[in-house]
Structure 1
Amino acid sequence: MSAFLEALATAAADERGMVTTVPDGGSGGGDTRRHSWAQVRAEADRLSAALDGAGVRSGDAVAVLAGRPADIAPLAQAIWRRGASVTMLHQPTARTDLAWFAEHTAGALRVIGARWVVLGAPFDTGPFSAAAALLRDAGVQVLKLNELTAEATGSDPKEGPPASSPVPADAEVGEDALALLQLTSGSTAAPKAVRITHGNLWANITAMRQAAGLDPATDTMVSWLPLFHDLGMVGFLTLPMCLSINLVVVTPSEFLRDPLLWLRLISEHGGTCTAAPNFAYAVTARALRRAGGEGPPLDLSTLRFALNGAEPIDVAACRAFLAADAPFGLPATAMVPAYGMAEAVLGVSFHPWGTPLRIDTIDADALENRRLAVPVPEPVAAPGTGAATAPTAAQAAEPDPTADPDPTAEPHAGQRGAGGAGVDAVGVRQFPTLGPPLPGMQVRAVGPDGEVLGDRQVGELQIRGASVTAGYLTVDGPVPTLDADGWLATGDLGYLIADPAVATDAAAATDAAATTDAAETPDDRVVVVCGRVKDVIIMGGRNIYPTDIERLAEQVPGVRAGNAAAVKWRTPHGRESFAVLAESRQHDESGEADRIADGIRSAVTTELGVRPAVVKVSPVGSLPKTPSGKIQRAAAAGLLAGDQR
């Protein structure tokens, strides 16, 4: 039995477990229900019998389309115990064309070789029930979760199995067996799945446990993340389930209806660990400010680890969240910017928890023209204004820690920062540092010719370690991901920084481990991500980062935060330039689209010294996004090209 499956079995020995909401028809006011990990294991016994009866065998691929964590947790366990792999399918919404969804899903299932889709609530009834018929029409074998349980037990699934129901023996599963086939969320229509073995999964879970300082006896994890995304499925369901950590979990729709529900759950349950994409921290901080102290009191003093990842990280959003929540006891060190990807199962590097945010402020010219991250003093706020200005000589020599811009104010050009871009009026860029590589993980930056780069030299990041996948499944068959030395090219641009504090911790960890294996030796450098290799716009020899442009566009009044895209664009003369697409609720109001477009042109030209070739203001929902909410720049460029013909 794999180490991961052994951990799942061990976790069922105590009464820790998860708290979920009871469906209430969508009003957002459902009660909660507790499920111990022992109860989850017992339900997995029933489902294992159901899957065995349906013919699921070791090595099979089983896809899951379900939305309720209380259903997904035992089902995933049952699939793994049968020796099969789990694929969480991207979920349709009320606006999804179900015929398109069925066709696209059938294509993904062919890539992973799945024989079954297990359909659970809310996708087995109501408006989504047509999906089952459409999937069957596309040649997919659909198994309904409630029917599977009833068939296996000979009873109503809500009542549980008769005492004599046989539970099939778990399959023999080794470390190289596939545990997850994680569908990636790229910008192309061709599906691709990351092959994650039991060994990969357990290596990343144990590394994240160490880096996050997780203690099953004292920690409580709180999440609303979608379970078809690796951050939710691995980080906030599989990890607590196999480490026997208490979990409080609701669905994304519940969070979107009421963002402050997230904070209330942390307060009510003494949550210590949570995670979300950057946008959620911005939305929650804004909702908290608007509440103006109304509503039930919050106690956020227990929250020590709030991971920020899965999309570019905005420095202003981090600061705004910390400031808005500080009156409720949130520790100033709670925010944990992180770097990760499905190809590493989930985590690659975490900012050291319990330490303040570290922002790397660098010279924009050196970044764009020489691919160097040259540090400069952080801009300070001019007295009586919110505008960032260049520090005086005295300020540069002796920075005033109280002179930071008000983090609770709406972000402007002098405050914006991100994991992929931070733009300031003084020609600097700001990036959050993302911590050292997790235990067992290595990260390096390489140049265009494959040469390994030194500190603060910008190049493509590569990763190596026990949790890194060996390959993808694609429409053209299996594709290896690693070079001859075991390195995976991430497609991310970034650099590394020597950090004395990390070096001290790393040295202590090395002494404690007494290891000579380079892959297990902690790195004394921290990771910084600038953007994606394929998205960089080259103009006049400068490397212009799309996220720089997007953050400026989002500051123009009327543009929806997080809904601007900067894409490569060819001028009629064949020169490389860029276009900007931005969503606005005022797009169809007289003169508003022109005002917004002019504002975007002015902001970008003033701050970056480059002018967009095209600016288009579009209605809400027009920008193509991945199921996890990331803007698909290539698809956006294709839509714009069609509009311009």
Structure 2
Amino acid sequence: MKSVIKRFNEWVDKNPEQRLFAFLDVNGNIKEDYTYQEFEDRSKIIAAHLMSEFKFKQNDRVLLAYPPGIEMICAFFACVRSGLIPVPTYPPSSLGYQSSMSKMDFIAADCGAVGVLTSQDYYWSLKLNLNRNNVREKNRLSQITWVNTSEISSISVPDIPERQADILFLQYTSGSTSSPKGVMVSHENIIYNGDIVIDHYPITGVSWLPQYHDMGLIGYYLFLAIKGGTNYGFSPIDFIRKPSLWLETISKYRGTASSAPNFAYEYCLQPGKLTEETLNDLDLSCLRSLMTAAEPVDVSTYQRFLEFFKPYGLDPQYYFTAYGLAENTLALSNHGRKFIAVNRQELQENRLLLASPGQNGHTTSSIMSCGKPLGDHQVRIVDPESCTDLGADAIGEIWVSGPSKCLGYWNKPTLTKETFEAEIPGDASGQQFLRTGDLGLLHEGEVYVCGRLKDMIIIRGLNYYPQDVEKIVEKTSKEIREGYVAAFGLKENGEEHLIVVVGIKSKSKIPDPFKISEEIRKKLNILPHTITFVPNKIIPRTSSGKIMRRKAKQLWMEDGLQVIKNCVLIHESEARSNGKAASPFDEIKHKYGFTGEETFSLVSALDSLDLVLLLNDLKELLKKSGAPKMAKEIDTRLLQEISVSEFFDLIEQFDTSSLVAIHRLKNIISKLQSEHKDAEQRQMLRDVKLNFKPESVPPASNYKPTGKILLTGGTGFLGPFILKSLLEQTDDDIYVLVRSENDQKGRERLIEGMKLAGIYELCQGEFEDRVIAVRGDMNKARLGMDEKRWKYLTENIHAIYNNGALVNYLFNYEKMKGTNVSGTNEVIKFAFAGIPKILNHVSTTFIFGWAVKDVLYETDTNDSLDLLDFGYSQTKWVSEEIVKDAMKYGLQARIFRPALITPSVHGGGNNFDISIRLLAFMINHGIGVDTNNQVSFTPVDVVGNNIVAISALPDTINKTFHIVRDNYNNMMDITDIISKLTDQEFNNLKLPQFVPQIVDRCTKDDLLFPLLDFLIRSVENISAMELKLYSNQEYQEARNRSKHGAPDPSLEETVRGMLLFMQRKEVINVKMKV
């Protein structure tokens, strides 16, 4: 039995470390990627959970509803490994929510789905939408299991044998809500179609096509996985936002294969879509397959694109058209480069008359070839009524047979027989054919597609039934006569548009075109380009009352209708806002590069600074809109919990809704946030245990005190100083894990980090002799190392300094979990492999969150998750708990908890942490805070030195150390010293008055601005901790015993170092006295 998984596994064995999939953000940066081995590991982890925890049975159908990204592909392969049948679907969002949700629910019911696999972003957006849309009725989706695969980590699971379902997956046909049909695709279909489509090696794909659509999913994920390729993907919405990203990605990563519908090529040719800078750097000579398909190809678009991009390396032999359909897996023919000119009037009657050379262009139409049939496919042109073979150069329905023909429609035996088992009377081969429903012809052995047998409308590669549009329009107004609406597609500038001709009862009572447009958008998620109102008797119909859409289209094009009013609904965004000018919210979307349709969360698209800038802009806008209370309630946490489309839709409702509606929305948000908090805490409690079970623990007696050392986080703020201290206090070679393209680039990053910290020259010789950069990633299996290096290092490393962490006070748990939690698990896996190792884990006093205990001892831990409400403290607490769990299995470890780390006493370092940002603001504005909260500033060189010094003492194993100052100080002690060293005076305010002053004075140019939201929402917690102190007895005792231990510098020395740093970075407006 053929198997996609077996084919994929062959490539895993051949090239485990080759990149398989990468997914980019709108700026072209890789935000997630997998090698073949990593992808196999991830899909196996999900598969094991699906079989062990959720008890899905073989051949169960499971929907996949994901925003663009690689997790959906991981889930797809996990289903296949589990013997489940994956069913990709489009995830509903606020835009077109009703249509996409109705379609998704129809699919769930049609295939009898037992579950939905989804992601963190989409799960919470769905919860919000269900509440907002009052979805209370028991539809299919509300009765089946929802699995957030983002929460599934590599926890130890039973060794479950893989299963294979009877079919590979269900590909539901694109289109409107009337009756999507599930095409049953087999393993054999995919393998055969992939073998005949992939025509060059090595293959590097670039695709922004939807992953729930056959051309995107099959062409660039399934095919490349079973053919040994690599794919660089990004979101379709990012293509619309920035079309240059497509061509830039091809050029940058030397893409050899890419595809898109006709509209995309036309879109790239529009003025202003590609900048001179983009074009100057563009090199498309790497392409071996640039295909246009999925919708009718416009000859003019094809030719203009080719001519425009020839100077940029596009080779005409590698740019071609293709034809395919879901029912035939994917591709039927390709390598089309020719076109024919035919008599237009004859073509409208489905007759072929080739135009003679020089014939008037106004009477001819051009049809693009889709190339010759691939492989063993047989194509016939058949009379759709008599089912007779019409032969070459005749127009009829395209019928096809061959190994790519799928198994039929799920649970539709009658329709399957009619569509997949058609026979041609008298055909000697006795073959059964697939009826495509497309009209076309064969000319000189090549396939030409002329249109649809039925009046299908194809917009951006998706099919829509005109009768669905017509039914929606009829119900929008009593003035529209039922059965007198005609919808059809019209191509303009290479792109298909929806035109609706509406028959109305009275010339004096014209329905609102924008209401009609909005209803179409809600139900089908498309917008009409033009709505034309005519007397109802003008709509052409057959004697039996059927709409003659082609006739209506012809009359419309020839101005043959008695038009009452013609409404061209200009730009989509204006149509969506009911014809109004762009709103301030639209301007914010534009400023941050959003369309408002994105199904991923804001934190997936913005860094923390942009997140705060966006929040600030929204708060200001809400205040101006008369909603100051709402402005206060919206914070960065909400921005991270729901998708971009949901967020903007929600915010705009606050601007336009009634007080009752606003109250309801606020309740919905409050409920959502409460549910999100509960789910987040449940996830944290699941994550505190090792996600694997150590098979064997090397005995501690075998431990070697010298050898080689592994350091993570070597390029951060503390990392360079730990590295310097290791070079000074040990003779070991030091391997440093660095995210980089290769080891050399990693070494350059390390050197740059040490130079920025001002310490490279102090240890340059030792660095060059003993430091080895290791390309890797904390967020990946085996720390991103290949198997050979992992094995070597686990057999030679005797000590680990785990300093790698993402430090951010805005991001939520999910955003920071990868590095801080998953990374810790991988470090511990490393520690348990090979020879015995000691782990020196750098934690933080932030693991206590907002604890209010009078004294926090080194033996204490945090017992209340409610005290942890931001991602950094949450993930660092979980990370520390994982280390403690590993210690139960015999791991020898130390835990170091620094408090606030400051620049060195000489002003060295390269990080603007919260302490520097706050102090710089206070100095520049001359305000201080009168509070008794302990402020424990420890210079980074002292922290790095003492971590290494204490780690050399054997009796400090399995202990925890608070790296805090020996003596109590508060912020007024700090500002007093600053005044002494600079003559800067401070107006000291109580905390409740201090924070409002920050809010009033802080601008976007202030270093403190990114942390403004964090400080505002934390003020009550900070006040509650005023009397809290940290005990550091163990730390003091160990530090003082070590021959390398460094005592606390004086507070004045510490503050002087901070001032030197801020002066060097030019972030304060005062200078120290000479």
- What TM-score does the superposition give when structure 2 sets the normalisation length? 0.42
**Contact 1:260/1:287 (8 A) holds in 2:** no
Match 1:130 to one of 120, 128, 131:
128
**Contact 2:32/2:70 (8 A) holds in 1:** no
Corresponding residue number in structure 1 for 2:354: 374
Match 1:529 to one of 449, 452, 457:
449
**Contact 1:180/1:196 (8 A) holds in 2:** yes
**Secondary structure of 1:307's aligned partner:** strand
Higher relative contact order (CA 8 A, sep 6+): 1
Deviation of the 1:241 alpha carbon = 1.0
Deviation of the 1:376 alpha carbon = 2.8
Q: Which amino acid aligns with 1:611?
A: G
**Secondary structure of 2:333's aligned partner:** strand
**Contact 2:185/2:406 (8 A) holds in 1:** yes
**Secondary structure of 2:317's aligned partner:** coil
Q: Which amino acid aligns with 1:470?
A: L
Deviation of the 1:565 alpha carbon = 3.5
Q: Deviations over 1:138-180 (max 9, x none)?
A: 3232111123x2xxxxxxx2xx445xx444211155xxx2111
1:142 matches 2:131: no
> How far apart, in 2, do the equivalents of 1:366 and 1:57 lie?
55
**Contact 1:270/1:303 (8 A) holds in 2:** yes
**Contact 1:550/1:566 (8 A) holds in 2:** no
1:198 matches 2:187: yes
**Secondary structure of 2:251's aligned partner:** helix
Q: Which amino acid aligns with 1:550?
A: L
Corresponding residue number in structure 1 for 2:298: 314
> How far apart, in 2, do the equivalents of 1:37 and 1:449 lie?
51
Q: Deviations over 1:603-635 (max 9, x none)?
A: x98997673566843434579xxx9xxxxxxxx
Match 1:183 to one of 146, 165, 172:
172
Q: Which amino acid aligns with 2:144?
A: V
**Contact 1:48/1:167 (8 A) holds in 2:** no
Corresponding residue number in structure 2 for 1:432: 368
Corresponding residue number in structure 1 for 2:59: 59
> How far apart, in 2, do the equivalents of 1:224 and 1:298 lie?
18
> How far apart, in 1, do the equivalents of 2:141 and 2:70 lie?
29
**Contact 1:62/1:86 (8 A) holds in 2:** yes
Deviation of the 1:457 alpha carbon = 0.5
1:455 matches 2:453: no
Corresponding residue number in structure 1 for 2:89: 89
Matches within 5 A, 1:566-581: none
Unaligned runs of 5+ in 1: 150-156, 380-389, 391-423, 499-524, 538-545, 573-580, 589-603, 628-645
Deviation of the 1:132 alpha carbon = 7.5
> How far apart, in 1, do the equivalents of 2:247 and 2:290 lie?
11
Deviation of the 1:458 alpha carbon = 0.4
> How far apart, in 2, do the equivalents of 1:431 and 1:80 lie?
40
**Secondary structure of 1:330's aligned partner:** coil
Match 2:499 to one of 540, 559, 565:
565
Corresponding residue number in structure 2 for 1:259: 243
* Cα pair distance change 1:172/1:108, threshold 3 Å: closer
Matches within 5 A, 1:22-421: 28=27, 30-53=29-52, 54-97=54-97, 101-125=100-124, 127-130=125-128, 138-147=142-151, 149=152, 157=153, 160-161=154-155, 165-172=157-164, 177-209=166-198, 213-215=199-201, 218-286=202-270, 291-293=275-277, 297-351=281-335, 357-369=337-349, 371-377=351-357, 390=360
* Cα pair distance change 1:132/1:4, threshold 3 Å: farther
Corresponding residue number in structure 2 for 1:505: none
**Contact 2:84/2:164 (8 A) holds in 1:** no
Corresponding residue number in structure 1 for 2:20: 18
Corresponding residue number in structure 1 for 2:378: 442
> How far apart, in 2, do the equivalents of 1:465 and 1:203 lie?
10
**Contact 1:106/1:140 (8 A) holds in 2:** no
**Secondary structure of 1:12's aligned partner:** helix
Match 1:550 to one of 490, 503, 511:
490
* Cα pair distance change 1:440/1:35, threshold 3 Å: same
Deviation of the 1:345 alpha carbon = 0.8
**Contact 1:221/1:246 (8 A) holds in 2:** yes
> How far apart, in 2, do the equivalents of 1:550 and 1:35 lie?
42
**Contact 1:66/1:121 (8 A) holds in 2:** no
> How far apart, in 2, do the equivalents of 1:50 and 1:477 lie?
37
Corresponding residue number in structure 2 for 1:591: none
**Secondary structure of 2:249's aligned partner:** helix
Percent pairwise identity: 24
Structure with the larger helix share: 2
**Contact 1:298/1:328 (8 A) holds in 2:** yes
> How far apart, in 2, do the equivalents of 1:144 and 1:548 lie?
40
Deviation of the 1:73 alpha carbon = 2.2
> How far apart, in 1, do the equivalents of 2:435 and 2:267 lie?
33
Deviation of the 1:377 alpha carbon = 2.5
Q: Deviations over 1:324-377 (max 9, x none)?
A: 22221111233221111000011111026xxxx211112223333461242432
1:483 matches 2:483: no
Deviation of the 1:259 alpha carbon = 0.5
**Contact 1:363/1:376 (8 A) holds in 2:** no
Deviation of the 1:465 alpha carbon = 1.1
Corresponding residue number in structure 1 for 2:622: none
Corresponding residue number in structure 2 for 1:595: none
Q: Which amino acid aligns with 1:527?
A: V
> How far apart, in 2, do the equivalents of 1:239 and 1:221 lie?
10
Deviation of the 1:137 alpha carbon = 6.5
Corresponding residue number in structure 2 for 1:492: 438
> How far apart, in 2, do the equivalents of 1:94 and 1:549 lie?
25
Matches within 5 A, 1:627-642: none
Q: Which amino acid aligns with 1:85?
A: I
Unaligned runs of 5+ in 2: 424-430, 458-485, 507-516, 518-525, 533-552, 577-596, 598-1074
* Cα pair distance change 1:536/1:613, threshold 3 Å: farther
Q: Which amino acid aligns with 2:189?
A: N
Deviation of the 1:123 alpha carbon = 0.9
Q: Which amino acid aligns with 2:184?
A: R
* Cα pair distance change 1:611/1:4, threshold 3 Å: same
* Cα pair distance change 1:378/1:269, threshold 3 Å: farther
Corresponding residue number in structure 2 for 1:542: none
**Contact 2:242/2:273 (8 A) holds in 1:** no
- What TM-score does the superposition give when structure 1 sets the normalisation length? 0.68
Q: Which amino acid aligns with 2:161?
A: A
> How far apart, in 1, do the equivalents of 2:75 and 2:364 lie?
49
Q: Which amino acid aligns with 1:376?
A: S
Structure with greater Cα Rg = 2
Q: Which amino acid aligns with 1:130?
A: L
Give the count of matched residue pairs.
488
**Contact 1:441/1:466 (8 A) holds in 2:** yes
> How far apart, in 2, do the equivalents of 1:49 and 1:327 lie?
51
> Aligned-residue CA RMSD in angstroms?
3.6
* Cα pair distance change 1:338/1:294, threshold 3 Å: closer
**Contact 2:288/2:318 (8 A) holds in 1:** yes
Corresponding residue number in structure 1 for 2:677: none
Deviation of the 1:527 alpha carbon = 0.3
Corresponding residue number in structure 2 for 1:513: none
1:611 matches 2:560: yes
Deviation of the 1:571 alpha carbon = 13
Deviation of the 1:311 alpha carbon = 0.8
Deviation of the 1:49 alpha carbon = 0.3
